Amino acid sequence: MKEYYDTRAPEYDEWYMGLGRFEDIDRPGWDAAVTELERMVAQLPPARTLDVACGTGFLTRHLRGALTGLDQSEQMLAVARTRLPCAALVCGDALSLPFPADSFQRLLTGHFYGHLEPEDRRRFIAEARRVAPELVVIDSALRPGHRAEERQERVLNDGSRFEVYKRYFDAYGLAQELGAGTILLENQYFVAVAHDARSHNAEPTVRSHRSLH
C-alpha cells in the first residue's frame, strides 16, 4: 500500500478534480459532492486536530485550529507541505500512532478507514480513541455498481497497477461500526460520521452539515 501511495502522490488530487485518468469517467454530480464535502470539513468547529492519512492535504487545508497531519508516504507529505505550511506533518503508522494519549481534541481521517480490513479497522478505532476523544471518519458511499467490499485494481498514469482492498459504507452502518455517532454528511459519493468516545448514545444521530454554520 505504501508503494501505491508513493507512486500515486503526484497525481492523487486528479481523483478529486476530475483530471487525468478521471477526466472521461462519467460521475454525475461529482463536483457538487466534492464541494459539499469540503464545506462540511470547513464547518467543523476549530480544534487541535490530527488528520490521519492526510495524503496531499486536499481536505486537511479546510480544517480550522492547530493541525497535525500524519501519513505513511513521504511523497504524499511532500505535496502536503506545499499546501499546509503551518501544519506539523509527520511520517508514521496510523495503526500505531506516535503520539501520547489525549494529544488531540479531534482525529479526522479521509478515505483511509475504508482501505482497512476488519481487524485493522478495530485497531485503528482503538488508537484513535487513545489519542483524541472525537473521531471523524470520511469515506466513500456505497452506491450502485459496487459491492460493500472489493479487491480493486488501480491503474496509475504511468501504467503501473496495484491491487487495493476497498470498503464502501452507508452513513448509518459506518456510525454503528464506530460505536454510534453523528452523521455529518451522506451524499451520492461520500459519507462522514463523527464519533465521540465519551458519548454513551446507543444509536447514530443525524445532523445536517447545513446546521454547522
Other beta carbons within 10 Å of 202:
8
**Segment 38-80, tens digit of pLDDT:** 999 999 999 999 999 999 999 999 999 999 999 999 999 999 9
CATH number for the domain including 18? 3.40.50.150
pLDDT of the residue at 202: 55
The whole-number average pLDDT for the span 30-39 is 98
Other beta carbons within 10 Å of 152:
11
C-alpha cell at 13: 488530487
For residue 34, pLDDT beyond 70? yes
**Segment 74-105, tens digit of pLDDT:** 999 999 999 999 999 999 999 999 999 999 99
Give 144's DSSP letter: T
Question: Taken in order 183, 201, 121, 66, is the CA torsion positive or negative?
Answer: positive
| Total domains, the chain | 1
C-alpha cell at 66: 492547530
Domain residues for the domain of 180 are 2-212
